[in-house]
Chains A and B, each alone.
Chain A
């Protein structure tokens, strides 16, 4: 499914009256995993090509529904300009590519934020009635206002203390285009320096979910079957870049961060 028309509609509709509260909309789809697509995703993010879905993969299956929901006129925030600030994923068990997935998405927690308003897009994946995967993506609209005040700020995963990097990645200039092709997230800030500049970035920036997936892939073989992955996004990762991954084992799981000379791009815990 191409999300380009939805982005265009959202861009055109960005100006004008909007709803002030969240819609009750719940969007759903049945998905049979396309193994070719799964292999492309795995290759782009650094996972081995196999039968178990990478814990971050269902996010791209739900992402089209996220956009569809946020592009609607009844959604209180304008899609262009929304910033992905945090993401949590819980994979309750390994999900096999041969399983038929039921993906459902809704929005909740439209609340204030120190810099504007934030909203959570919540995705649930069921297999034959069994809940196998949860995702919660938090988006910030700078300068926007929400009906409810800001809650107590969420405790973001901490940075891994200094010391040498576990890995140094040379992130190529086309990373945004490559991840856009497998995720459907064709937000222009990721695609090209020129389109990114139009939105105030000096160069194209990597998708946060690519960086998160790439970091998770670095722990392949070291994760339990059921995974909780909690990510806070920091400074945009400008493309191309050389960045460092730091990992540290903490009570049965891992703390990790991705940083470069320009700052910390993400901090996360996984276990």
Chain B
């Protein structure tokens, strides 16, 4: 394919430390966290009062009052109020999809600069009116006469006073994300030991990265937190092996609270721009966005795993760019669950799956595991859904910049059977 468009530059990123649900950010809203994150980004790159091309952001768990959350955040932030903004929502793919949207506009010359952001809170999640009660109230609102109003009010039942709390379940299957992932883990015979080892490595790598100051220019403290609240530097595969499984049933149950991501609060933002824009402001260019691909699978009726869409997205992305899976120096595979990462890798190595499901002559093959999530990932940081994409992009861009050359792959699975993947190259 032709590649005449310029490549968007990743200038840098900022996030707040991620907090466990009902932890340090229990009182903060999505608006609060995203404001702190954008203000931190503005402080780091001298953007106060600047008109940025656009801010694309989003949240997965969103209150009805948070219409155009990102624009509202910009209006209360240090950025110029003449910075346009809009919301994106694609479950856990939100944060990476915002980057794709902004990077594409920069590549096309429609923007010179942009910010990709995401935020989520499980502590301040929306609780909705019982749906039956809501219908009664809407009918009441539309009633013109007193008898109509009384008739509408007569529809109220005591049971309707129980509010609806959002559940971490797929609307069409009724299964939670963890239960879906457990099915995939079973299908690919992912062992408990392998999952616990991956989880321990995530904590170990994240702790080491904090210790060497890797996150000093990626993270701004917030509400007293300076590191991710979920990080357990001293955990080990042996300690994790003692936890009881929480997803799946019986002998085959391998997924625990230790090798699954906890509910988390947090926000992240990535600053993108053209090379010229960055140069004019003497800002660094850490990496360039090469390409991205989004896939979706029929997890409802076709027996596909809920979180396996990246398995399909990556081969399409590689083919379009004339690359193989071995051509990367870093692999950032979002750890929704340790089993998700391991099942994804197993699927890419499986000849039958390659042939029958991916339509390829040969499997993508194994990856060098020493290049996987080298500074930790979601199992250690936690996973505020829409904020994970920004965390990973900024992290990978910095890794590539440190290395001075090379290429990195980002892979993020999302609820609804979707997955967003992208390639970055060192600048």
Chain A residues packing against B (C-beta within 8 Å): 35-36, 39-40, 43, 48-51, 97-98, 220-222
Residue B152, interface by CB 8 Å: no
Interface size of B as a range? 10 to 19
B28 pairs with A39, CB closer than 8 A: yes
Residue B39, interface by CB 8 Å: yes
- Alpha-carbon distance A40/B27, docked complex (angstroms): 8
Sampled A-B contacts (29; CB under 8 Å): A35-B27, A35-B224, A36-B27, A48-B31, A48-B32, A48-B35, A48-B36, A48-B76, A49-B27, A49-B29, A49-B223, A50-B32, A50-B35, A50-B39, A50-B222, A51-B221, A51-B222, A51-B223, A51-B224, A97-B223, A98-B224, A220-B35, A220-B76, A221-B39, A221-B75, A221-B76, A221-B77, A221-B78, A221-B79
Which residues of chain A come closer than 8 Å to B221, judged between CB atoms?
A: 51
Residue of A nearest to B42 (CB): A221
- Alpha-carbon distance A220/B27, docked complex (angstroms): 19
Which residues of chain A come closer than 8 Å to B28, judged between CB atoms?
A: 39, 49
- Alpha-carbon distance A198/B279, docked complex (angstroms): 67
Q: Which of B45-100 contact A (CB under 8 A)?
A: 75-79, 81
Report the minimal beta-carbon distance from A31 to chain B, rounded to whole angstroms. Answer: 16
- Alpha-carbon distance A49/B79, docked complex (angstroms): 18
Which residues of chain A come closer than 8 Å to B31, judged between CB atoms?
A: 48
Chain B residues packing against A (C-beta within 8 Å): 27-29, 31-32, 35-36, 39, 75-79, 81, 221-224
Report the minimal beta-carbon distance from B52 to chain A, rounded to whole angstroms. Answer: 13
Interface residue from B32, B75, B77, B78 paired with A49 (Cβ < 8 Å): B32
Report the minimal beta-carbon distance from A58 to chain B, rounded to whole angstroms. Answer: 18
Residue of B nearest to A220 (CB): B76
Interface-centre pick from B75, B222, B224 (highest chain A CB count, 10 A): B224
List 9 A-B pairs, minimum CB-CB distance, nearest first: A39-B27, A49-B32, A48-B35, A220-B76, A49-B28, A48-B32, A221-B77, A221-B76, A50-B36
Which residues of chain B come closer than 8 Å to A97, judged between CB atoms?
A: 223-224
Interface-centre pick from B31, B78, B223 (highest chain A CB count, 10 A): B223
- Alpha-carbon distance A43/B32, docked complex (angstroms): 10
Interface-centre pick from A40, A43, A222 (highest chain B CB count, 10 A): A222
- Alpha-carbon distance A220/B35, docked complex (angstroms): 10
Which residues of chain B come closer than 8 Å to A222, judged between CB atoms?
A: 81
Q: 4 other contacts beyond A35-B224, A48-B31, A48-B35, with CB at 8 A cut-off?
A: A40-B27, A49-B223, A221-B77, A221-B79
- Alpha-carbon distance A64/B166, docked complex (angstroms): 42
Which residues of chain B come closer than 8 Å to A50, judged between CB atoms?
A: 32, 35-36, 39, 222-223
Which residues of chain A come closer than 8 Å to B32, judged between CB atoms?
A: 48-50
Which residues of chain A come closer than 8 Å to B39, judged between CB atoms?
A: 50, 221
- Alpha-carbon distance A167/B224, docked complex (angstroms): 33
Residue of A nearest to B27 (CB): A39
Report the minimal beta-carbon distance from B220 to chain A, rounded to whole angstroms. Answer: 9
Which residues of chain B come closer than 8 Å to A98, judged between CB atoms?
A: 224
Report the minimal beta-carbon distance from B81 to chain A, rounded to whole angstroms. Answer: 8
Which residues of chain A come closer than 8 Å to B224, judged between CB atoms?
A: 35, 51, 97-98
Which residues of chain B come closer than 8 Å to A39, judged between CB atoms?
A: 27-28
Residue of A nearest to B74 (CB): A221
- Alpha-carbon distance A43/B31, docked complex (angstroms): 12
Which residues of chain B come closer than 8 Å to A51, judged between CB atoms?
A: 36, 221-224
- Alpha-carbon distance A48/B77, docked complex (angstroms): 10
Report the minimal beta-carbon distance from A75 to chain B, rounded to whole angstroms. Answer: 37
- Alpha-carbon distance A92/B81, docked complex (angstroms): 25
Report the minimal beta-carbon distance from B28 to chain A, rounded to whole angstroms. Answer: 5
- Alpha-carbon distance A156/B394, docked complex (angstroms): 49
Interface-centre pick from A36, A48, A220, A221 (highest chain B CB count, 10 A): A221
Which residues of chain B come closer than 8 Å to A49, judged between CB atoms?
A: 27-29, 32, 223
Interface-centre pick from A35, A40, A49 (highest chain B CB count, 10 A): A49
Residue of B nearest to A36 (CB): B27
Which residues of chain A come closer than 8 Å to B77, judged between CB atoms?
A: 221
Which residues of chain B come closer than 8 Å to A221, judged between CB atoms?
A: 35, 39, 75-79
- Alpha-carbon distance A221/B79, docked complex (angstroms): 7
Which residues of chain A come closer than 8 Å to B29, judged between CB atoms?
A: 49
Report the minimal beta-carbon distance from A171 to chain B, rounded to whole angstroms. Answer: 18
- Alpha-carbon distance A35/B222, docked complex (angstroms): 11
- Alpha-carbon distance A220/B76, docked complex (angstroms): 5
Interface residue from B35, B75, B223 paired with A35 (Cβ < 8 Å): B223
Report the minimal beta-carbon distance from A213 to chain B, rounded to whole angstroms. Answer: 15
- Alpha-carbon distance A49/B29, docked complex (angstroms): 8
- Alpha-carbon distance A49/B223, docked complex (angstroms): 8
Which residues of chain A come closer than 8 Å to B223, judged between CB atoms?
A: 35, 49-51, 97
Report the minimal beta-carbon distance from B63 to chain A, rounded to whole angstroms. Answer: 14
Interface-centre pick from A50, A97, A98, A222 (highest chain B CB count, 10 A): A50
Which residues of chain A come closer than 8 Å to B75, judged between CB atoms?
A: 221
- Alpha-carbon distance A39/B78, docked complex (angstroms): 20
- Alpha-carbon distance A231/B100, docked complex (angstroms): 47
